[in-house]
């Protein structure tokens, strides 16, 4: 039985990197991972969504939406959430070799 890597399966069923469908998939996956990280950190600190929302200055519903990747939250809100949770945030920016007009 032949085995396939996750990358091979994603290329086959979602599309190769750089295609619109794959870019959308990767974007949604990143949002999902951010939401999961926030939820996990919140629970480790024994906070409810309502308590976290009050600390951040947003409603409980906004925290729920962020955790469940239901909405695109403002970057500043996500950073506030991580700051309140005492989490260190790192991110990378990769630029393609495309020339800008």
Per-residue pLDDT tens digits for 87-101 = 888 776 666 766 655
Q: What is the 3-state secondary structure (H, E, C) of the chain?
A: CCCCCHHHHHHHHCCCCCCHHHHHHHHHHHHHHHHHHHHHHHHHCCCCHHHHHHHHCCCHHHHHHHHCCCCCCCHHHHHHHHHHCCCCCCCCCCCCCCCCC
- Identify the CATH number of the domain defined by range 7-84: 1.10.260.40
pLDDT tens by residue, 38-86? 999 999 999 999 999 999 999 999 999 999 987 777 888 888 999 999 9
């Amino acid at each position: 039985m032949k085995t396939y890597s996750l990358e091979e399966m994603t290329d086959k069923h979602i599309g190769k990197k750089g295609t619109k469908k794959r870019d959308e998939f990767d974007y949604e996956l990143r949002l999902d991972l951010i939401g999961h990280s926030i939820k996990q950190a919140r629970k480790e600190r024994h906070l409810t969504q309502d308590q976290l929302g009050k600390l951040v200055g947003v409603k409980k519903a906004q925290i729920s939406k962020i955790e469940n990747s239901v909405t695109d939250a403002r970057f500043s809100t996500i950073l506030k959430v991580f700051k309140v949770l005492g989490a260190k945030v790192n991110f990378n920016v990769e630029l393609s070799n495309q020339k800008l007009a």
